[in-house]
Chain A
Amino acid sequence: MEPYTDKVVEHFKNPRNVGEIEDADGIGHIGSEVCGDIMDLYIKVKNNVLVDVKYKTYGCGAAIASGSMLTELIKGKTIDDVLKVTNKRVVEALGGLPGPKVHCSVLAEDALKSALNDYYLKTTGKGLPGFKPRSEHSHDEK
């Protein structure tokens, strides 16, 4: 496997926005122990803006860095902007991920969608339009 970029290593060494938000407006929970990666994402929303974001992860270096980068990409942004954030944006911002690790960025995107879905459910009673809750992550147990 190719080595991680400096950006990945830097985020892995100093992950941003780690933790939980007790009175979160939306919580995303994605992944499983079987896959070896889990991500929890907490969002606090005020006037359509993600005023605070925290995450926790059980996973490899790429998962930790992807979660960290995701929080940087979405914190302080409007929901409309945040909806445009995909796993590709996370990978680009990290300066790339080794092929087998791209699924870690998908984990981050899914955690975001899951948190937004939770927020929509709580505020409008309807989930995130177009959101299909995935029971499992991009690779399932064999």
Chain B
Amino acid sequence: MKRIYMDYAATTPTHEEVVAAMQPYYNNIFGNPSSLHFFGREARKAVDEARLKVANFLNAKPEEIVFTSGGTEADNFALKGIAFTNRERGNHVITTKIEHHAVLESAQFLETQGFEVTYLDVDTNGLVNPEDVKNALTPQTTLVSVMHANNEVGTIQPIEEIAKIITDFNHEHSRSVYFHTDAVQTAGALNIDVQKLGVGLLSISAHKFYGPKGVGALFIKKGTRIKPFMHGGGQERRRRGSTENVPGIMGFGKAVEIVMKERENWVKHLEPLRNKLIEGILNIIPDSMLNGHPQKRLPNNINVTIKYVEGESMLLNLDLEGIACSTGSACSSGSLEPSHVLRALGRTHSESHGSLRFTLGRHSTKEDVADVLGVLPKIVTRLREMSPLYKKK
């Protein structure tokens, strides 16, 4: 059976060049970068080179990059690290209702530790209003965390505007509120320049852009007050103990190199495919609607609600046809609540249960899009025929 992968936001296939770049670091150049001998030195040299690549990718300094086990760890580090380290300055954190669980559940954990957290609303397209950030800032605030683009609906946030509000607030009130953004979804699609964005902390993850799983980074601007996340070694300038994942870091370095070279081409390839799939679904399937911002959205993200049917049953039917996607329905996750993101956008429970997300990547083709548009309407018709919610018009 022909298999069509449309879940690139979940993970991407590791690029062949990335795999090749990692290979020597398993058994040939295997030293521990902390060792003083030749084997250690050559591993350290490699890690330093990769760190420089990732720093260049973000327009940061190498010493501002902390390698982590991925995006989740980077988010945990940012939220807990800043909140606990700066507790004597204040106990208030601002974030949004549509963050990834790595941020949301870290924030909820902080609440159990006596911190106060403000969860900002978003509009029906999933946009945070920078004015809301302004109004939420208090003399107790130490951290604002707003994701760069949402993983479910693809809405791209006005990070630069929010950064400016925080900078102004800091100047006016002689404060040092830190600004973190989770850029896990954006690295393969948007230019990520920490200077231009104006953020003090930023999370990325390699496997979202053709790098290996199990490696990511947290950018921490020089001068940031943050205590180590993992104790037990002097690695990462004492900020994260643990022997470096050398092959992973080498793959990460190669992946950012490829992204810098290819990103524009990918976007040119993806946007027309995305638009075709969105328009196709909305035109062919009655009672369907787009979730997320129509323009300010990731070039590879399609998220639609198809009314009167439940997402997991569509997903499974698509899977039987060889098409892989995801859904915000509660039934897919094993939890009972549908997507918190769709709910925050104002979608009803059933509209959230009836959502499908297709995320495209560099291997996606026009034919793939045409196949989905051929198969999905039939699935929807069949499921609607057995749905008590659907009354034929």
Binding site for B on A (CB under 8 A): 1, 4, 9, 12-13, 15, 18-19, 29, 33-40, 56-64, 98-101, 139, 141-142
Contacts and interface: CB of A to CB of B under 8 A. Distances in A.
A42 to B, nearest CB: 11
A60 B389 contact: no
B337 interface: yes
B23 interface: no
Contacts of A36: 310, 329-331, 336, 338, 349-350, 353
Nearest to A138: B336
A29 B388 CA distance: 9
Given A36-B349, A61-B312, A61-B316, A142 B337 contact: yes
B386 A18 contact: yes
Nearest to A8: B316
B338 to A, nearest CB: 7
Contact of B329 (A4, A60, A139, A141): A60
A138 to B, nearest CB: 9
Contact of B310 (A34, A60, A139): A60
Contact of A35 (B316, B336, B390): B336
Q: Which 4 A-B pairs have the closest CB atoms?
A: A60-B331, A100-B334, A60-B312, A33-B350
B320 interface: yes
B124 interface: no
A59 B313 contact: yes
A19 to B, nearest CB: 8
Contacts of B309: 58
A4 B348 CA distance: 28
Interface in B54-107: none
A101 B308 CA distance: 20
Contacts, number: 81
A61 B334 CA distance: 12
Task: Name A's interface SS.
Answer: mixed
A38 B311 CA distance: 14
25 contacts: A1-B334, A12-B313, A19-B386, A33-B348, A33-B353, A34-B349, A35-B336, A36-B329, A37-B331, A38-B389, A57-B386, A57-B387, A58-B309, A58-B310, A58-B387, A58-B388, A58-B389, A59-B310, A60-B313, A60-B332, A62-B331, A63-B331, A64-B313, A64-B386, A142-B337
Contacts of B385: 18
Contacts of A4: 316
Nearest to A12: B316
B335 interface: yes
B308 A58 contact: yes
Nearest to A56: B388
Given A18-B386, A57-B388, A100-B334, 14 more contacts: A1-B334, A12-B313, A18-B385, A34-B350, A35-B330, A35-B336, A36-B310, A36-B331, A37-B331, A38-B388, A58-B309, A58-B310, A60-B310, A60-B313
Contacts of A100: 334-335
Interface string B323-335: 0000001111111
B334 A59 contact: no
B319 to A, nearest CB: 10
A61 B388 contact: no
Contacts of A38: 388-389
A12 B350 CA distance: 20
Nearest to A31: B388
Most buried by A among B334, B348, B386: B386
B335 to A, nearest CB: 7
Between B312, B329, B390, the greatest number of chain A beta carbons within 10 A of the residue's beta carbon is seen for B312
A51 to B, nearest CB: 21
A101 B320 CA distance: 20
